[in-house]
Structure 1
Amino acid sequence: MSGHILIVDDEVGIRELLSEILTDEGYDVHLAENAEEARGFRAQRRPDLVLLDIWMPDTDGVTLLKEWASNGQLTMPVVMMSGHGTIDTAVEATKLGATDFLEKPVALAKLIDTVNKAIKRGVTPPRRAPGMDLSALGRSPQILELKKRLTQVGGNTAPVLLSGEHGSGFEICAHFLHQPASPWIEIKDRARLLSEPLSFASTLGNGTLYLSDVSELARLEQKGLALLLDRIEGNGARLVCSSSRSLDALVGTGEFDSRLFYRLSSVVIQIPPLREHREDVPDIANFMLTQLVETGVCPLRRLATPALNQLRNFDWPGNLPQLSNVVRTLALTTLTSEIDGTDVNRVLAPMKQQAPAVAHGIPLDTPLRVARDAFERMYFEYLIQKEGGSMTRVADRAGLERTHLYRKLKQLNIRHGRRLDENL
C-alpha cells in the first residue's frame, strides 16, 4: 500500500510500534507526540490518514478533531485511538467526522484492516472541503450573540425571517437552524410557487424549507408561498426565509402581502454585515484560504499579518462573497507562498477607487438630481411604512397637499396602494 499517515500519540512506545508496522506495510509515516506538533504538520500538508489518540496532555484528540472540522482542515480520514475508550466517546468522534475508532492495545490485523479501509475511502472520492458554517463566521460579540439567538429559537418550528444585507450569511444561519438527519429543501425554482406550490411539501417531512430573498417574490408567488405555509404548519417542518429589504416597507407600499408578512415575521433575526464584525475577517479569510488549499485549487498559501490587517480594515460592501472572491484571487495570483500586504493592496486598490462615497445609503458621487431623488424615495418610503400606508397622515407629516404627494410618489415610482398610472 502507499499513502502518508500521521500518527498522533503522546506515548513514544505506541508511536514507534505503529510506525514500524505501517512502514512495513508500505506507508510513509510521520509522528507527532502532541496536538501542537499535529497542528504544525497539518498546516504544512494534508496526510492521507491520521491516527489520533484521544487522551493527550496538551489538547485531547476530540478537541483537535473539532478544530480541524471548524477550520476546514478535516478533509482526510481520521481514526481515533484510546486505551480508555467508551461508546460515548466513539459516537461523539464519529459525529464530528472521525472515520473509525480503535481501542488500545490495537490488534495487528485490526490495525492494518482499519488503516487500509480508511485510506481507500479517503482517496476514492474527489477531495471536497466542508462548507462554511456558523463557527467559521468568527468569535466576535456580534456573532456569539447571533449564535445564541439562533440556538434559542432552534427548538421550535415557527417560521424564521433572517434580515440583513446580501452576502451576510443567510444560508449559513439557515443551515444552523436545520435539524440534522432531516430533509433540507431550498426553493430555487420560484416559478413552482405559481404552478405547483404544494409540491415542495411532498418530500419535506419534518425538515427545513429555505427561501432566499423572499422580498423578491411577486404577489402571485407570495400567494403560493402562503398556501405552502398552510400545508407544512403543524407537521414538524420549518420555513426559513431571508430578506435583504425591509418587508415592513414593502407592505406599506403594497408590494408585499401584509398577512404573509406577519406570518413570516413571527421570529425575525438580524444578521450583521461583515463590516460590523470586522475583527472576524482574518479568521474567515484564513478559513476560505484553507479550503482552497485543501481542495487543490491553489498550492500552499499563507496570509501574513499585514495582509490580514488590510483585509480587516476594508469595508466589504459585498460581504462574504466579495471576501471569498478576493481570497481566491490572492491565492491564485500571488507569486510566493506568503500573501503579504502588497498583494492585498494590489487586489483591493481598484475596489477602493470604484467604491462611491455614501451617506445614509445614498451615493454622493452622482448628480444632485439623482441624489435628491434617492433621498426623497427613502424619505417617503419611511413615512408610508411609519403611517401604515395612510396617505392622509403621510401628507400631513410631509407638509404637502395630498394631490402634490401623489404626483411626487408617481415621479419617484413609489407604489402606495393606488395605480401609478392613474390620472392625477
Structure 2
Amino acid sequence: MATILIVDDEPGIRDTLRGVLEDEGFDVSTAATGEECLKLAETEHFACILLDIWLGEGIDGLETLQMLREAGDDAAVIMISGHGNIETAVRSTKLGAFDFVEKPLSLEKTVVTVKNAVKQRELERTNRQLQTDNANEYVMVGESVGMRALRKQIGIVAPSDGRVLISGESGTGKELVARAIHSASKRRGAPFVEINSAAIPEELVESELFGHVKGAFSGAVANKKGKFEVADGATLFLDEIGDMSPRVQAKMLRVLEEQRFEPVGSNAPVKIDVRVISATNKRLDDLIDNGNFRADLFYRLNVIPFQIPPLRERVEDISLLVEHFNRRFSADNGKRTKMFTEEALDALRMYTWPGNVRELRNTIERVVIMVSKQKILAKDLPEFGSGDEAPASSFRFPSFKAATDAYQREYILHKLAEHDGNVTKAADEMGVDRSHLYRRMRNLGIQAK
C-alpha cells in the first residue's frame, strides 16, 4: 500500500490523521517540522505528503514544498492550513501542490483527497514509464553519415509547425522519424495520431479522416470524430498518402489550406489546429505525371522533405542495429543476450535487405527466439530472401551505386575469407594498396578481423 507522510506541528492532528489513514490501509509516517520532513523524504519514497503551511519554528510548509520540488521529489502534496486564503492557495498550486484543505479538517474529505492524490500520482508515474518505454521502442539507431544528418535535420525542423513529407522504401523507419519529430516539437505533450491510408478500405478513408454524423451513411449509428479532429492541437501522421483517392485528396487540400473541414454528412465546419506529417514509399512525382496524385496537394504536403536512406546504403549501421534488437528481444523474451560473431555480422552486411530495417528487426527477433546457442555463427542465421542468388548478381538495386557497393562488398569479403582475414594478402591479390582497401572496407561497413 502507498506510504503517506503527515507533517504538522500539532501532535493531536498527526495522531488523528495517522489513525484514520492506517484504518484505510495506508502506511503512515509523521513529522513535526519542515526540516524533519525533508530529512525523511531523502531516505523514503512517499506517495503523498499532508503538509501544514504553518509549522511553528523553522521553515514553513510553502518553503518545505519548494525545497521538495527542487530536490526532485514527486510526491503528491496536500497543503493544510487553519488560516487559508486565496493567495496562499494559488502559491501552493504554483509550487506543485495537488490540493489545499483547511482546518478544522473533515476526516472524510481528507481521506478522499489523499486517495485521489495517490491515484493521480500513480497515473502520472505510469505515464512517464510508458513514455520511457515508447522512447526505447522508437529510438533511432545508427551513426552513419545519413543517420547523423537525419537526426540533425529533425532537430532543426521539429520545433516548427511546418508540414513534413517523409519519403523512403518500406521498412526504412518513416514512422520512427515522424515520431521523433513529434517528440521534439512543441506539441509533444499532445497525442501522436496516425492513419494508414493503404490499410483502410477506400469507402471508409474519408470517414476515418474527417469523421461523420449519425445517419450519414448506412452503419453510421452515431456521431464519430475523425483523425483530424482527434489531432486538434497535436500531430497527425498520414502514412502511405500515395494511396489516397482523388476525392479524399481534394478534401485534404482544402483542410490544409483552411484548417477546417465538414464531417461526412454535415455542413457545419469544424476548425482545427493540426500539424501534418505525411509519408510515402512511392514516387509521388510519377503519380503526378500519371494523373494519380494532385500536384497542388503535393506542394502543400512537401513543405519540408525528408528522404530516409535504405539499409543497404548505410551498411555500417547494421552491427549497431543488431546489437539494439538483440538486447531488446532478449529482454522481452527473458533470454540472455546473444553474441553475434563477426562472420555472422559479415553475412548480415552482405545481404541487401529489400525489407530494410523492418526485415533486419524480424530476422534478429527470430534468431533470439529460435536459436538456443549463445554464440551466433553465419550458419545460424535464417536464409535471406526467396532464393540462393548472391546479392551482387541481383537486378533489384535501385541505382548503379547500390549495385556497385553490393558487388564490391561481396568481392572483398570473399577475398578476405580466402586469406583468413589478412588484409595485406587480400590487397596484394586484388592489386590495390592496403590503405585503399581499408578505406573501402570502412565505407562498406566491413570490419577487419
Q: Which of the residues 206, 221, 237 maps onto 2:274?
A: 237
1:185: Cα distance to partner? 0.8
SS in 2 for 1:187: strand
User: In the TM superposition, what is the alpha-carbon distance from 1:221 to its structure 2 partner?
Assistant: 2.4
Map of 1:210 onto structure 2: 237
Alignment CA distance shift 1:347-1:341 (3 Å)? same
- 331-340 or 254-263: bigger deviation: 331-340
Aligned partners of 1:150 and 1:352: how far apart in 2?
Answer: 39
Q: TM-score normalized by structure 2?
A: 0.49
What letter corresponds to residue 155 of structure 1 in structure 2? P
Q: Which amino acid aligns with 2:383?
A: V
* 1:197–1:227 contact (8 Å) kept in structure 2: no
1:147 alignment partner in structure 2: 151
Q: Does 1:195 align with 2:195?
A: no
Question: Partner of 1:138 in structure 2?
Answer: 142
Distance 1:360 1:288, change over 3 A: closer
Percent identity between the two aligned chains: 23
Q: Which amino acid aligns with 2:384?
A: L
How far apart are 1:131 and its partner, in Å?
6.0
Cα 1:158/1:193, change in 2 over 3 Å: farther
1:91-106 correspondence to structure 2 within 5 Å: none
Instruction: Measure the CA separation in 2 of the matches of 1:261 and 1:251.
Output: 9
3-state SS of paired residue (1:162): strand
SS at match of 2:230: coil
| Gapped regions of structure 2 (runs ≥ 5) | 1-66, 75-120, 211-225, 261-270, 400-449
In the alignment, structure 1 residue 301 sits paired with structure 2 residue 350: no
Of residues 351, 357, 360 in structure 2, which corresponds to 1:314?
351
Q: How far apart, in 2, do the equivalents of 1:86 and 1:279 lie?
A: 47
Residue matched to 1:253: 290
Distance 1:261 1:241 in 2: 10
What are the Cα deviations for residues 353-405 of structure 1, in whole angstroms up to 9, with x where unaligned? 3877216649xxxxxxxxxxxxxxxxxxxxxxxxxxxxxxxxxxxxxxxxxxx
Deviation per CA, 1:124-153, whole angstroms, max 9, x where unpaired? x99x96466665321111100011112111
Q: Give the whole-Å Cα distance in 2 for the aligned partners of 1:171 and 1:333.
A: 28
Matched, 1:185 2:193: yes
Number of the residue aligned with 2:366? 329
Describe the shift of the 1:187–1:311 C-alpha distance in structure 2 as closer, same or farther (beyond 3 A).
same
How far apart are the structure 2 equivalents of 1:349 and 1:193? 33
- Paired amino acid for 2:143: R
User: Which entry has the higher C-alpha Rg, 1 or 2?
Assistant: 2
User: What is the aligned residue count?
Assistant: 252
Residue of structure 2 in register with 1:68 after alignment: none
Contact 2:229 2:272 survives alignment (8 Å): no
Aligned partner of 1:174 in structure 2 is 178
Tell me if the contact between 2:239 and 2:279 (Cα under 8 Å) persists in the aligned partners.
yes
Q: Aligned-residue CA RMSD in angstroms?
A: 3.8
Distance 1:222 1:338, change over 3 A: same
Q: Determine which structure has greater relative contact order: mean sequence separation of CA pairs < 8 Å that are 6+ residues apart, divided by chain length.
A: 1
User: Relative to structure 1, is the Cα distance of residues 295 and 335 closer, same or farther in structure 2, using a 3 angstrom cutoff?
Assistant: closer
